[in-house]
Chains A and B, each alone.
Chain A
């Protein structure tokens, strides 16, 4: 097991390096210099001042020197300072110790993603199992239609429709943000309730596509598991159908799900950009979008690297869990 983990970690090193090289290249091959944004806003900027600025950011040095010094800094989690007007360090923008923990950007996005993941699993597993146990039944057909429609639905469009229905016409849910204006004056329970109220639509929207995909996946995984000899054996020795399905088949069908969960991390990060934009949620997605639109290079580079490494870490954890759960992988 330890050998397996070490091997897995070693193969990650070139990938992590590649990610940093690629992020660096993408930013630096783009037309225009990163300092353009800083200088074009300032009419007093003279060519000399501009040069000083470029020197300050090391832009006058050859690319590989710049890359190495940047790499040295990001190993220490120093992603530099933002180019936006507040010019705070990138890491502080993501995890600001000055605000309540629930308001820090990374936390906001994490909460939404974890909740939507829970929602996905708690809907998709029962749906998938039930349609696999009774394939081509009425329920199975309905869910197949739902899966196809769910796959094809643009999440941002669904978000607009639900806002129109629940926030504007019915007035049940807030249109945007993560808390109400009078939040600070509320008691603790009321505060949590207020947050939950704001999270309903975003969590549902970010889970929607996943429910469709995951239930499809669960169905085929379960179908495969049911066909196995050990299920026939379990039935033959007279076990109750419930025991056969839930104890023998389901446990094995859940294994591939671990990998899928690990693989879905980049999608979650991408998804956050759109729905945080629609719902005005101050999380990582909104920060990414603002940084991209404002050509805030340090933030963009930092976020690219951080989210890629998160993805890799997610895959690694998934592989580890898989190996823990399935002895066949460990001994290979």
Chain B
């Protein structure tokens, strides 16, 4: 309890982290309330209002089919959030599992796993993701799974390092002496103490996944139209780049602010949780 309280007060003192938390919560709200606050239906095509510049009627203008970009961006927030959280959930789970196995058992298990991590790290991840998606077909579920499957290596290394130092602690030896099973020691004794850096990297990971999804959708290998995502609205922006700057400007701004929010929150939490920064 005391520990939690001190973390909380450190976050409150850290203005960057608070800004991040506000941004993240705001976008979370927007995503949940998208159907309520969107002024137009995101699918509604209106041939009389094609490529209307931003104004009072259409806050962020309309695209070449006369669809309201502001409404499409609100729905796009849902996609970003969903992809970010599910992908990071997958990668964090894999990372924890792989990292704790390597760190706890050591020896050949560790060498095999860490070699595999090396192999995964030297693949150009983005190229790999594009290739796999092109083969299995782009859909929001495929994107989440593939981003998750290709971004667990950092977490695995973190967890492994934590395990290497924690497994020598006395409370672990005590647990082993009292006959606790390996699984019990790993999940109940060591893992809870190794979670702080994992949590930080997960939050930073959400930002990275949002960026990745937007890049994939921008290239046409992500979320498929007519479902709006910030990335695929930007594709339309590129197609109309010479006549409609607003299609390009606003979705990118949304991506920037969201990712900035997660990064600020993550960095702030790292400062709060890292004992070296405590006075």
Residues of chain A touching chain B, judged by Cβ–Cβ distance below 8 Å, are 14-15, 18-19, 22, 26-27, 30-32, 148-149, 151-154, 156-158, 160-161, 163-164, 168, 266-267, 269-271, 273-274, 277-278, 288-289, 292-293, 295, 300, 303-304, 307-308, 311-312, 315
Contacts and interface: CB of A to CB of B under 8 A. Distances in A.
Nearest to A301: B131
Given A19-B123, A266-B121, A266-B123, 13 more contacts: A14-B115, A30-B135, A149-B260, A151-B259, A152-B256, A153-B256, A154-B255, A154-B256, A161-B249, A270-B126, A270-B127, A292-B131, A292-B134
Contacts of B219: 273-274, 277, 289
A148 B122 contact: no
B86 interface: no
B33 interface: no
Contacts of A308: 122-124
B166 to A, nearest CB: 25
A318 to B, nearest CB: 13
Interface in B237-279: 237-238, 241-242, 245, 248-249, 251-252, 255-260, 263-264, 267
B85 interface: no
B194 interface: no
Dominant secondary structure at the B interface = helix
B218 interface: yes
A19 B256 contact: no
Interface string B114-157: 01101101111111101110111000000000000000000000
A315 B122 contact: yes
A19 B119 contact: yes
Interface stretch (B97-105, B176-184, B207-215): B207-215
B124 A266 contact: yes
B234 interface: yes
B124 A311 contact: yes
Contacts of A292: 127, 130-131, 134
B255 to A, nearest CB: 5
Nearest to B16: A148
Contacts of B248: 157, 160-161, 164
Given A161-B249, A266-B123, A148 B260 contact: yes
Nearest to A151: B263
Contact of A148 (B115, B214, B249, B264): B264
A273 B212 CA distance: 13
Contacts of B123: 19, 22, 266, 304, 307-308, 311
B104 to A, nearest CB: 23
Given A270-B127, A273-B127, A22 B134 contact: no
A149 B238 CA distance: 22
Contacts of B207: 152
Contact of A156 (B134, B135, B218): B218
Contacts of A22: 119, 123
Contacts of A293: 134
A164 B252 CA distance: 14
Contacts of B124: 266-267, 269-270, 304, 307-308, 311
Contact of A289 (B122, B130, B251): B130
A148 B219 CA distance: 25
Contacts of A148: 16, 260, 263-264, 267
Contact of B122 (A15, A31, A273): A15
Contact of B119 (A18, A30, A289, A300): A18
In this complex, which of B234, B256, B257, B258 has the most chain A Cβ atoms within 10 angstroms of its Cβ?
B256
B215 A164 contact: no
A157 B255 contact: yes
Nearest to B119: A18
Contacts of B134: 292-293, 295
B118 A15 contact: yes
Given A19-B123, A154-B255, A273 B130 contact: yes
Contacts of A304: 123-124, 127-128, 131
A271 to B, nearest CB: 8
